[in-house]
Amino acid sequence: MKLKNQALIVTGGASGIGARSAVALAAEGANLIVADYNIDGATQVASELTQKGVKAFPFKVDVSKSAEVEAMVDFAVEKLGTLNGMFNNAGIGLVKPFLEMDPGSYLKVIEVNQHSVYYGMHYAAKKMVALGAKGTFVNTASIYGTTAALGSFNYNAAKAAVIMMTRSAALELAPHDIRVVAVAPGFINTPILGSDAGMKEMLGRQHLHGKLIEPEKVASVVAFLFTDSASAINGSTIPVEDGYQVFKNS
C-alpha cells in the first residue's frame, strides 16, 4: 500500500470522480475525509471505505465558503491526527451563452470551481506546514481549461485559473516538501453531464475511443499522483482525456 496511513481530504467525494478517487486512495491505505455538500452521499462513501479497513469520515461543506473549508481542514486533523494533502475536486457546471451570462451565473461557477481550490490549498497547506507534514495537492482542472467551449465562459475561466494556480502553488510550496499537481479530465461519465443520452453520445465521440471516460480511469491517475512514485511530477496538469486534444488539433 503506497499511501498507508496518509491523511487526505477529498472534496466532491459523494459521487463521480471524487467518490471513485476516494475508493482508489483507500485501496492504497489512505485515511480520508469524504467532503461534499451532499452529506448523505458522503456518508455512504465513507461507510464503504470504513468497511475496507481505513479511517473515513464524512463532512458537509460548501467549498465556495472559506470558513467552511477552513473548518473542514480542522476537522480532518482532529479526526485523522495529521494532514498530508487534499484532492480539490468539487465542481459544478452552468452553461449559458456569454451574452446571457449574468454576474450571478458567472460567479457561482467561479466560486465553486476556482475559489474553492485556493481555499483548500491555502488552509490545508498552512496546517501542513504548522504540523511539519509533507504531502500533495491534486486539483481537478479540465480540458476546458485550455480549450474554449460555447456556453462555458465561466467554466473555461475557472479551470484555466486552476491550471495556473497549480503551477504557482507548486512553486511556493516546494520548499515545504509539498507537491501540487492537477488532472484535466475529458468528458467523464458522471452526474454533472446530466441525463441526455444524445448529448452524452456526442461528447463521447470527441474522444479517440468514441465514448465517455469512466470516473475510475481518472481516479487511478489521481491515486498515482499522491504516491511517491509521482514525486518528480510537480506543477503539472495531467490530461486524462483519451486523446481529446490530439483529436481536436489533428
Q: Which of 158, 236, 216 is nearest to 15 (CA)?
A: 216
Contact predicate 155/113, CB 8 Å: yes
SS3 9: strand
DSSP calls for 105-125? HHHHHHIIIIIHHHHHHHHHH
Q: Which three cell numbers stand for residue 88?
A: 480539490
Is 155 tagged catalytic?
Answer: yes
- In angstroms, the CA 114 to CA 131 distance is 26
Q: Which of 105, 87, 109 is nearest to 96 (CA)?
A: 105
Catalytic residue among 37, 106, 123, 155: 155
Which residues belong to the active site?
155
